[in-house]
Amino acid sequence: MIRAPDAMPLGLACRDWLLGLARVEADSGCPRLFAMKSEIAMYFADTVAHWGTERRYHLMCACIKRLFDNNYGFPSLPWTEEESAAWADWDYPFMGRDLGLGAFRSPGKPGAELVWATSGKKRIIDADKVPAVLRWEHLEFGGGFKINKRLLKTTLKQTLHATLGAPEVVGSLWRYRTTAPGLPGLMITTNLDFGGRHPSQLRYSQWLHQIRGQDAAPRWLLDHGGISALLGWPQTEWCYLTDADVPAAARLLAELSKEFVDAVPGMWRLSGLHAAMNE
């Protein structure tokens, strides 16, 4: 998350912001996470659909703490009993890009029989993991989730223009540069990546840079991986979009990008790094 060791206080402020965002997301019913069409977000929706608000919140707190604990140098925050219990129940299989990876059968969890489309073989897996496996099979072997990339790009460009302006296009990467509100020495770069490895359709991330003078290179301070940080995942992507999903995905991306831009001044004040602006 942090890119310069002496920016540690900024990273801690970002962690605090995400923990606060988890509270807001849980209290509102997790509408943005449920709307995401990514592997981890859709597994989250499958798993916590019947969970209460507090249990969802405890899970997000555990995920955020785990993500930051894995980043170098961050002082750990202890997990509560409720967070540990929610994490155990969450049991995300981390199946990545290959159904041969990850734990699909956990001791003590209800099982369900699944017939693999590719081989016809039967296997007992955790019942709460069946929807994720079926989605994956439909994507990989059923020809599902096709998308018109030109429609996606056109819609995103139109939707994001009002808040981020026009992008700088470098191959499959779009970069939007925004000055942090009230902080002319800080710049936020919002990246849209259309070239991720299959099945990624679109990724976004945001970087925070310190501008140090006309001849000096910008100083990279913070890397925000998007809303998937609420689930402990370091990058946010869409994998399961159809053409019908594109307008809603574009509006969500615009909202999420602006949310981070608007939050930077508060993080900066909390970090106490004001003096670094003049170095």
Q: Which residues pair with 205 in a beta bridge?
A: 191
The DSSP secondary-structure symbol of 275 reads: G
Cβ-in-10-Å burial (0-12, 13-18, 19+) of 72 comes to exposed
222 touches 270 (CB < 8 A): no
Q: What is the mean pLDDT of each run of 10 residues along the chain (279 residues)?
A: 78 95 98 95 93 98 90 80 95 60 71 79 84 78 79 97 94 95 93 88 94 79 94 92 95 97 95 66
Q: Please give the pLDDT value at position 96.
A: 46
Q: How far apart are the first and last CA of the chain?
A: 22
> pTM to 2 decimals?
0.89
Tokens 């209290």 sit on residue: 27
